């Protein structure tokens, strides 16, 4: 959490952390989020912004959940070509590092890397350049609207395997790279 807090501070944004347990059912997740959103609504918050680009089912889910509480969901990147989004992101001067990767699609060498032109060239053709299908996840640590870069160092990289039932088909192995705050 120190890196998330440092990121919010560098962006001069308020931060409210909603704790979600690691092993949580959708029912539990929805209850936790309902409670948090109810509190936000009481503070006068009426909109929620998402970076989703093209996952229709996720967009519909988010809109339905928010609508129950009278929130409006905003999707400023919706429908944009992901290569264009990533190109603009890099041209604007944002910097991000890959902290997790789906092991079925990407090998260990992709985690702990800063996304740049070479990273994008190294991606397999079946991997979205924004990781929009969950291929990888990142931490943005610098950019034009940051007061200063978020200081960190990379730690160890590990492969985690998650249990799942036979009737649910989903990828269950992911590479993770620890990011450690620097004081």
Return per-residue pLDDT of the chain as tens, 183 residues.
Answer: 899 999 999 999 999 999 999 888 899 999 999 999 999 999 999 999 999 999 899 999 999 999 999 999 999 999 999 999 999 999 999 999 999 999 999 999 999 999 999 999 999 999 999 999 999 999 999 999 999 999 999 999 999 987 765 655 567 789 999 999 997
Rounded distance between C-alpha atoms, residue 141 and residue 136, angstroms: 16
Rounded distance between C-alpha atoms, residue 137 and residue 77, angstroms: 17
Rounded distance between C-alpha atoms, residue 71 and residue 176, angstroms: 33
The domain total for the chain is: 2
Domain range holding 102?
A: 82-181
Please check whether residues 133 and 172 belong to one and the same domain: yes
Rounded distance between C-alpha atoms, residue 92 and residue 118, angstroms: 17
Nearest CA among 173, 181, 175, 131 for reference residue 154: 181
Please check whether residues 144 and 90 belong to one and the same domain: yes
Largest CA distance in the chain: 48
Instruction: Kindly state the DSSP code that residue 163 receives in the 8-state scheme.
Output: -
Nearest CA among 48, 37, 52, 183 for reference residue 130: 52
Please check whether residues 176 and 99 belong to one and the same domain: yes
Please check whether residues 101 and 65 belong to one and the same domain: no
Please check whether residues 108 and 70 belong to one and the same domain: no
Q: How many other C-beta atoms lie within 10 A of the C-beta of residue 159?
A: 12
């Amino acid at each position: 959490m120190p890196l998330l807090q440092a990121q919010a501070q560098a962006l001069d944004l308020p931060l409210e952390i909603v704790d979600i347990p690691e092993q949580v059912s959708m029912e539990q997740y929805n209850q936790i989020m309902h409670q948090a959103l109810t509190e936000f609504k009481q503070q006068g918050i009426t909109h929620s912004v998402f970076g989703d680009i093209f996952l229709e089912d996720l967009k519909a889910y988010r809109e339905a959940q928010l609508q129950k509480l009278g929130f409006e969901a905003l999707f400023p990147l919706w429908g944009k070509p992901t290569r264009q989004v990533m190109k603009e992101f890099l041209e604007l001067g944002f910097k991000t590092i890959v902290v997790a990767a789906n092991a079925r699609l990407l090998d260990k060498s992709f985690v702990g890397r800063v996304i740049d032109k070479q990273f994008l060239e190294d991606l397999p053709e079946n991997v979205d350049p924004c990781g929009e299908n969950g291929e990888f996840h990142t931490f943005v640590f610098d950019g034009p609207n940051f007061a200063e870069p978020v200081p960190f160092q990379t730690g160890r990289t590990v492969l985690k395997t998650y249990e799942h039932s036979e009737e649910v088909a989903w990828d269950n192995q992911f590479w993770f790279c620890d990011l450690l705050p620097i004081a």
